[in-house]
Amino acid sequence: MKEFSKFSKTLTFIRLLAGFSMFGQTEIFRVTLDAGHGDHDFGAVYSGRVEKNINLALALKVGELLEKNPKIQVIYTRKTDVFIDLIERANIANRADANIFVSIHCNANKNTAAYGTETYVMGMSKVASNLEAAKKENAVITLEKDYKQKYEGYDPNSPETMIGMTLMQEEYLENSISLATKIEDRFADLGKVLRHGGVKQAPFMVLHKAYMPRVLIETGFISNPTEGDLLNSEAGQNDVAQAIANAIVSYKREYFNVDDTDEYFGISSQKTNEKPVEVSPTVIETKVEIEKTSPSVIYKVQLSASKKKLELVPKNFKGLINVTMTSEGNMNKYMYGETSNYEEAKKILEEAKSKGYTSAYLIAMKNGEMISLQEANK
């Protein structure tokens, strides 16, 4: 009996140790910050504004803010001007068992009037502009040694080939969308423009290989003179870094240690709500397809109509994001996507049907009123 009692006390002690160990592990929230590009991979360069430098400055500033919280551990894929393979960036996060992976980039477009923010989650969107964005960022793998062997079966000129690769695409999607939404909401608080809703899906290789909720942030267009200069400035970088850090802390509060107050001191800076000035360039080739119809005509995909009111979250719409709802009488109509480009709208419809909404169809609206597709395409 004494031996049993001694064994019981020992077992209790071991359990207590295990409990403390588990608490210690779950108490620390690990964030991997990835500054896009580096060294000979400059990213986009416009009028002295160099993407790799801006990305690094932002990542370090976000990290500086988060590290003031002792319950957050920051892992950097790079802290200096070095080149890191895409797959290694993801592996750094995987080895650290990070809770989230945040890749920071700047956007660019030969149409220098383009401006605004976008935050991407991993997904197989068939929208042309999203695939083009992924193609541009994934092209960096051609700078890596033996990339054909390392990324066997993947063609950087055709992001769709990633669909055939073996990793599960839907894993962590909902959490990734939540994090992306929080980031874009914080950008909106700064007065920034969210391009086409802000949160998007695209097959980015750096996201594909990371095994946790992950996002890729396009913090703005360095090709736009006004927005680019702001991103290249200390004050502008401080605002963007603060927004990203606040979003990460908000995500932590929601999904990790709810009772944590997460207090830390932010970098003080003057908010800049100035909207970039649009210039009139000659459009050669754009990352986002130039609209071919009147801006007052908007196309959407109607997914379904029901008396039941559904929460507008991806899990209720087969993983689709940015679903909206309008009510007419006792019927609720659920719409997906929004564009003023008819060809783009057809691709969004194709995407909805591929998700299982085989009865989905296009609708057109002008000045808030529904019109026929025939009238919209005049």
Of 56-70, 97-111, 263-277, 338-352, the poorest mean pLDDT is in 263-277
What is d(CA 178, CA 180) in angstroms, rounded to the nearest whole number? 5
Q: What CATH number is associated with residue 197?
A: 3.40.630.40
Q: Is residue 291 part of a domain?
A: no
- Could you tell me what percentage of the chain is helix, strand and coil, using 3-state DSSP and rounding each to the nearest 5? 40, 20, 40
Q: Which amino acid is at 206?
A: V
Has residue 264 been placed in a domain? no
DSSP states of 214-235 as a string?
Answer: EEEEEEEETTSHHHHHHHTSHH
pLDDT of residue 126: 43
Return the residue matching tokens 């009123």: 369
Question: What's the chain's average pLDDT?
Answer: 76
Which string of DSSP letters, residue by residue, matches 143-195? GSTTHHHHTTT--TT-GGGGGGSSS-SSTTHHHHHHHHHHHHHHHHHTT--EE
Per-residue pLDDT, averaged over 206-225, amounts to 91
Least confident of 105-114, 198-207, 238-247, 290-299: 290-299
Question: Are both 209 and 92 inside the same structural domain?
Answer: yes
296 Cβ neighbours under 8 A, 6+ residues apart: 366, 367
Q: What mean pLDDT do residues 356-372 have?
A: 79
- Strands (DSSP E) contained in the chain are 29-35, 45-46, 49-50, 72-76, 100-107, 117-122, 194-202, 214-221, 297-306, 323-328, 331-339, 361-366, 369-371
Residues 249 and 307 in one domain: no
State the average pLDDT over residues 286-304: 60
pLDDT at 17 over 60: no
- Domain tally for the chain? 2
Please report where in the chains the tokens 């002008």 appear, as a residue: 366
**Of 242, 147, 253, which is closest to residue 186 (Cα–Cα)?**
242
Model confidence at 134, pLDDT cuts 50, 70, 90, reads very low
**How many angstroms separate the first and last alpha carbons of the chain?**
91
Residues 237 and 338 in one domain: no
* One domain, residues 55 and 199: yes
| CATH code of the domain covering residue 361 | 3.30.70.1070
Reported pTM: 0.61
Contacts with 78 (C-beta within 8 Å, 6 or more apart), sequence order: 34, 35, 38, 56, 59, 84
| Residues above pLDDT 70, as percent of the chain | 70
What value does the mean pLDDT take over residues 350-369? 81
Compute the radius of gyration of the chain from its Cα atoms: 23
Same domain, 238 and 314: no
- Assess if residue 319 is contained within a domain: yes
Cβ atoms of 329 and 353 closer than 8 Å: no
- The dihedral sign for the CA sequence 122, 103, 183, 214: positive
Cβ contacts of 86 within 8 Å, gap of 6 or more: 138, 140, 141, 144, 205, 206, 209
Identify whether residues 116 and 234 lie together within a single domain. yes
Q: Which domain holds residue 241?
A: 24-255
pLDDT one-digit tens code per residue, 302-332: 888 777 888 888 888 888 888 888 887 777 8
Whether 87 and 216 map to the same domain: the answer is yes
Please indicate, yes or no, if residue 203 is contained in any of the structural domains. Answer: yes
